[in-house]
Each structure stands twice: as structure tokens, then as C-alpha cells.
Amino acid sequence: MTSLITNLIKVFVITILLAGCSSLGGLKGTEERVEASGKMPPIISKGIWHEEEGNKKNYVGFSDQIHDLDIALRSAELEAKKHLIESIATELRIEGTRGQSGFDKEAVGRFFEDSQTWLTDNVKVSGAILLNTYWEKWGKRSSDEINYYYRGYAIVEISKADYEKAKISGLDRLIDKAILEKNRQAERAARETKERLLHPGGSNE
């Protein structure tokens, strides 16, 4: 009888220990990574969304709380491409106000600033490729069950040459927009910026 009680106590203790081995053991809202696609790429582990390497530019996109793996990775790829276009739009805004001063700089800066979201939706980028993906499967305890979801990451790569071509394409779209809005200052600034980018060694300022 004593040995039976001792064995039952052992089984009970082992059960408690095993339950405690997982952070999903019993606390509602507890999350734990349960699976990953492989080793996390360095750019993702650094926690950055943009990196240059040689003549290439890489952009990272991220998605979270998605229950379908394909959708998680596709969403991450779309966000990476969005980061790429946002980078182009930001550079064009900075370039577009170079050489401007006073009221002209303020008016032109406002045009480029207001056009950033529009540019993100209207610029087409050629040469951007999906370089790599990485995903993690996570579990979250909710009441008496565990809900699983994915975190997806995508790395989009573009050559610096294609990146510069995309900037020229963006300027062409901005020139059309300025003409449509009859904004002569912005049109002139966009044309001057395009000329500088096409002929870096020129003396346009």
C-alpha cells in the first residue's frame, strides 16, 4: 500500500513538472513559438527593414497573427515592396527641395510631402525580386484551447540601377501630377530633379 501511494505521488509530481515545461502550460494569453522555417536570415535578426549590400538594396516586410501560411508570406512580401516604394518617395521628396529656398521651398516641399502616399500607390517598380522568406508558427492559449498563427517575413531585393530607374519613373509621374494640378513650381522642381539624377555630373544648380 505504501509503495502504491509513493508511485501515485511520483506520477503526480512528474505530471506537474511536464505541464510546467511549456510556457503554454495553462496561463490564458501565453504565447510560444512552436515551429520555424529554418535559421532566421541576418537582416531579420537585426530587426532592420532596409540594408544595402554591394550593388543591391534589400527591404524586409513583416506580417503577424495570420492563420494561413501562404497569406502570411504574401502579406510580408507586399509590405517589403511598400517599404521599397516609400524609400523612393522619401528620397524624391528630399531631392525635390534641393536648391529651393523661401516660399518656393515651402510650396514644393508641401507638394512632394502630400504626394508621398499617392506615389506609393502609383509607382511601378521593375527589377524587384523576392529574395527570401522566413516564417514562425506561434501558439497562444485561449481558455482551454491553443490557437495557432504565423509570423511571416519576406526580403525583397532590387539592384541600385533598377532603384534609380524607379526614381526616374516616379519623377515622371510627379511631373504629370504637377501639370494636372497646374503647379508650375512643383513641375519645375521635379524636372530639375530628374535632370540632376539623369546627369549627376551636370551643373544644374
Q: What number of other Cβ atoms are within 10 A of residue 173's Cβ?
A: 17
Q: pLDDT tens digits for 123-139?
A: 889 999 999 999 999 99
Grid cell, residue 67, equals 492563420
55 within 8 A of 161, measured Cβ to Cβ: yes
> Between 7 and 124, whose confidence is greater?
124
Alpha-carbon gap, residue 143 to 196, rounded angstroms? 61
Find cell 502609383 and name the residue: 122
> Between 87 and 122, whose confidence is greater?
87
The backbone region for 192, taken as left when phi is positive above 0, alpha when psi lies in -120 to 50, beta otherwise, is: alpha
Q: pLDDT tens digits for 107-118?
A: 888 898 888 888
Q: pLDDT tens digits for 33-52?
A: 999 999 999 999 999 999 99
Angle of CA points 47, 88, 62, to nearest 5°: 30
- β partners of residue 58: 51, 157
Does the structure show a pLDDT above 70 at 4? no
Q: What is the pLDDT of residue 202?
A: 64
Alpha-carbon gap, residue 25 to 192, rounded angstroms? 63
* pTM of the model as a whole: 0.80
Does the structure show a pLDDT above 70 at 12? no
Q: What is the pLDDT of residue 6?
A: 52
How large is the average pLDDT for residues 193-198? 93
Q: What is the pLDDT of residue 16?
A: 40
Q: What is the pLDDT of residue 37?
A: 97
Residue 170 three-state SS: helix
Q: pLDDT tens digits for 60-114?
A: 999 999 999 999 999 999 999 999 999 999 999 888 888 777 767 788 888 988 8
Give Rg (Cα) of the chain.
26
Q: What is the pLDDT of residue 154?
A: 98
Q: What is the pLDDT of residue 105?
A: 77
Find cell 507586399 and name the residue: 78
Q: pLDDT tens digits for 165-192?
A: 999 999 999 999 999 999 999 999 999 9
Q: Categorize the per-residue pLDDT at 19 as very low, low, confident or very high, splitting at 50, 70 and 90.
A: very low
